[in-house]
Amino acid sequence: MADVQQGSLAVVEKSLVALFVVVVGAVLVNKFRGKKLKLPPGPLAVPIFGNWLQVGDDLNHRNLGDLAKKFGKIFLLKMGRRNLVVVSSPDLAKEMLTTKGVEFGSRTRNVVFDIFTGKGQDMVFTVYGEHWRKMRRIMTVPFFTNKVVQQYRFALEDEIGRVVEDVKSRPEASTTGIVIRRRLQLMMYNIMYRIMFDRRFESEKDPLFLQLKALNDERSRLAQSFDYNYGDFIPILRPFLRGYLNICKEIKEARLNFFKEYFVEERKKLASVKTVELKCGMDYILDAQIKGEISEDNVLYIVENINAAAIETTLWSIEWGIAELVNHPHIQNKLREELDIVLGRGVQITEPDIIRLPYLQAVVKETLRLRMATPLLVPHMNLYDAKLGGYDIPAESKILVNSWYLANNPAEWDNPQQFRPERFLEEEKKTEANGNDFRYLPFGVGRRSCPGVILALPILGLSLGRLVQNFELLPPPGHTRLDTTEKAGQFSLKILNHSLIVAKPRVF
């Protein structure tokens, strides 16, 4: 009897244990199920490498566009330890850049950008928060208002006028051709250095200019290269990157010291001995430093940001515009006709004229659509776990908006591969470059959008306008068109070859 009782007790005990295990198991399964993330679609990832071996290093706008056709308007790539989310539709761009602009308003940096920005002591690559707000506020008055455009419009016109005169003075320009980019690069430096420091460089051979350009070019090459991806994606491979990172550190130090010694300190000295009538950009920035709002390092990173964000992007866009005009002579002629009719033959275009020149504006917009200088915007990041398009986006994902794909998707645009400015006077006449249409975001939109658009658009309009007014732009002898092979970087798009261009002066 006692044995029977003990036996049934053991059965009860076992049943209870079994029940307990089942209940706990169910609770845990439920809990894990609840936690299971709904990640965006993407190719199957392998351990350690993720998708890196499948998709490779060249994550440019076209390759990412091809992946969007396969995986949809949002997809996830695991690049080693990094999550890379790519957004390729206007509705998701809207959700991310505006509706959830705060959540997705931070920036990722990689191992190289960490070095060049002092881990985000700058404005362009810092996370969304107090520091970014302060830096953007301090930079707005000296660089990003219409007042600045009005104050410097004569400087812009002067610099572009000098390009025209220099090109006219070079006989080979009208015969064998010249690499006009080199002169336009000097122009862009002069425009930005006049705004920043009230300084300009006399010629392409000015030793200070050559040194500055060499340091900036090296920074741009090192930062935009895909060659260092492996060490960024897979930390155990980082030791192999030591040499590369050391070069980045040397260039960064040399560059910031150069800005300090030759420009910032010089401006301080000048401001201390005489009262400057008209403040230049640096005077405002130094005022903020004196008030204790920012540190000396922050000042230097502001100079770094203007050098990196303003000069090359605008120059690449001018170059693309020229290349398209050379390769489409009927568009070049039509633009020249507009300038002649509206302004009068030989009357040089000035900033207030741009508004009266719709075809010129359309040429600029079409250049920025087909040949976006920053086709993936500047990478964004969510500091915390977030949702996008109904998917879970793990904290600290790198988010690219493929704005080139948005503006070149045949489902959204008529014949997008064709360079046709007329589209912006016809079916796209309401589409502006300021982000009023989420299919067209050459400058981004929302909190982290490009504040320099206010300067970039007049510079582009004036440069292309003056060149077309004064010259017939042609491919070099023996060529029927210019080579427009693209060279993409981490988030840049420039023309690979700086071809010779024939600039035949017009006779008025």
Q: Which stretch binds ligand HEM (CB under 6 A): 150-158, 249-257, 275-283, 441-449?
A: 441-449
Distances (CA, A) of 57 to 67, 192, 228, 408, 490: 14, 33, 9, 23, 10
List the one residue from 314, 408, 484, 499 that touches ligand HEM (CB under 6 A).
314
442 binds ligand HEM (CB under 6 A): yes
448 binding ligand HEM? (CB under 6 A): yes
Q: Point out which residues pair with 501 in neighbouring strands.
A: 178
Q: Quick one: which of 51, 367, 449, 499 contacts ligand HEM (CB under 6 A)?
A: 449
Candidates 104, 113, 116, 143; binder of ligand HEM (CB under 6 A) is 143
Which DSSP helix (H) or strand (E) runs through 335?
helix 329-343
Restricting to residues 379-438, which ones interact with ligand HEM according to CB under 6 A?
A: 380
Both tokens of 49, joined, read 């490498």
Interface with ligand HEM: number of residues (CB under 6 A): 26
Token code pair at residue 37: 């993330």
Provide the minimum distance between the beta carbon of 73 and ligand HEM in the complex, in angstroms, as a whole number. 18
Mapped onto helix, strand or coil, the DSSP state of residue 107 is coil
Q: CA–CA separation, 13 vs 299, rounded Å?
A: 73
- C-alpha 344/C-alpha 154 separation (Å) is 20
Please give the Cα distance from 189 to 10 (Å, whole number).
88
| Residue 306 vs 407, nearer CB to ligand HEM | 306
Among 124, 215, 393, 468, binds ligand HEM (CB under 6 A): 124
- Cβ-closest position to ligand HEM: 452
3-class secondary-structure state, position 401: strand
- Candidate residues 100, 131, 134, 136; the one interacting with ligand HEM per rule CB under 6 A: 136
- Residue 439 binding ligand HEM, by CB under 6 A: no
CA distances to 316, 320, 445 from 313, in Å: 5, 11, 17
Measured from the CB atom, the residue of 138 and 234 that comes closer to ligand HEM is 138
Instruction: Take residue 304 and report the two structure tokens written for it.
Output: 């770094």
In terms of CB distance, is 124 or 173 closer to ligand HEM? 124
Question: What are the percentages of helix, strand and coil residues in the chain, rounded to 5?
Answer: 55, 10, 35
Annotated binding residue 248: no
Of 2-10, 51-59, 262-270, 302-310: span binding ligand HEM (CB under 6 A): 302-310
Does position 184 interact with ligand HEM (CB under 6 A)? The reply is no
On the 0-12 / 13-18 / 19+ scale of CB atoms within 10 A, 431 is middle
- Annotated binding residues for heme, written as ranges, equal 450
Query: What are the residues binding ligand HEM (CB under 6 A)?
Result: 123-124, 136, 143, 305-306, 309-310, 313-314, 317, 373-374, 377-378, 380, 442-444, 448-452, 455-456
